[in-house]
């Protein structure tokens, strides 16, 4: 934060989004758009920006390729917005150099794991109304989370009421595995589907056999009154 305050004192000579302030210090360029009532990510952010602050706005979604042209980005602050949806390719193009991504204090309930697991950045995900599920569990296990805020990743909703209101890390430490629950659910659904198809085949075979038998009976009933070849000769 102190670094960003110092950057405020040195303006850029290049273009800058009209709702933001752009500064530079020691070759590191920053775009500061904090508390500007933004509802979406600005489209005209300079390509050589290193630090991007979009906190305390009203942004609701991070679309695919939102930062793709910003290959020099090292820090993105999206905290204290109203973000509810994050697309799978939201951070495509910045994975290599990004060091910090702050998504804390938003309205995020779930997030595609593909959007975060490709990043090497330290993630802040605290104070969101998370739905505890397999994807969030995999993010917690595999992503680089900020250790100071990981305890504030709390289950706002969960498959079982007893997990609601508890830190996700505490729930997982108790031996809960949301991914195995999902796998069991998928296995049951597959079994039910296979049983349904099998039952349909059996019903079809029974109907087919019954229909052929009825046709044979009708054919026999038709032939029975006809005079035989021998009677016809006599």
198/188 Cα distance (integer angstroms)? 15
Answer whether residue 26 is part of any domain: yes
Is residue 143 situated within a structural domain? no
**Per-residue pLDDT reduced to its tens digit, 62-115:** 999 999 999 999 999 999 999 999 999 999 999 788 999 999 999 999 999 999
Looking at the domain assignment, is residue 157 inside a domain? no
pLDDT of residue 13: 44
DSSP string, 128-184: S-EE--HHHHHHHHHS-B-TTTGGG-BEEE-SSGGGTTSBHHHHHHTT--HHHHHHH
Provide mean pLDDT across the span 1-8: 47
CATH number of the domain residue 106 falls in: 3.80.10.10
**pLDDT-based confidence at 188, cuts 50/70/90?**
very low
Residue 146 has pLDDT above 90, yes or no: yes
Which pLDDT value is given to residue 177? Answer: 95
Domain count, the chain: 1
Tens of pLDDT, residues 30-52? 999 999 999 999 989 999 999 99
Domain residue limits at 108: 21-129
Share of the chain above pLDDT 90, in %: 63
CA dist 148 to 90, 97, 207, 229, Å?
25, 22, 66, 100
* Whole-model pTM over 0.75: no
In a domain, 178, yes or no: no
């Amino acid at each position: 934060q102190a670094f960003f305050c110092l950057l405020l004192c040195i303006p850029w000579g290049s273009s800058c989004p009209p709702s933001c302030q752009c500064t530079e210090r020691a070759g590191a360029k920053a775009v500061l758009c904090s508390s500007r009532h933004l509802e979406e990510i600005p489209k005209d952010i300079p390509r050589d920006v290193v630090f991007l602050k979009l906190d305390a706005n009203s942004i609701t979604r991070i679309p695919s390729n939102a930062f793709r042209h910003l290959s020099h980005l090292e820090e993105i602050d999206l905290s204290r917005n109203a973000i509810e949806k994050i697309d799978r390719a939201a951070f495509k193009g910045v994975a290599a150099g990004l060091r910090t991504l702050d998504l804390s204090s938003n309205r995020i309930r779930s997030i595609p794991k593909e959007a975060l697991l490709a990043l090497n950045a330290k993630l802040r995900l605290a104070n969101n109304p998370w739905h505890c599920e397999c994807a969030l569990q995999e993010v917690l296990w595999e992503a680089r989370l900020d250790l100071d805020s990981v305890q504030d990743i709390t289950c706002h909703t969960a498959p079982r009421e007893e997990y609601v209101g508890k830190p996700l890390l505490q729930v997982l430490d108790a031996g809960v595995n949301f991914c195995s629950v999902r796998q069991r659910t998928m296995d049951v659904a597959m079994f039910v589907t296979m049983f349904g198809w099998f039952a349909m085949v059996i019903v079809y075979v029974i109907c087919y056999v019954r229909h052929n038998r009825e046709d044979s009976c009708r054919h026999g009933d038709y032939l029975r009154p006809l005079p035989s070849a021998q009677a016809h000769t006599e």
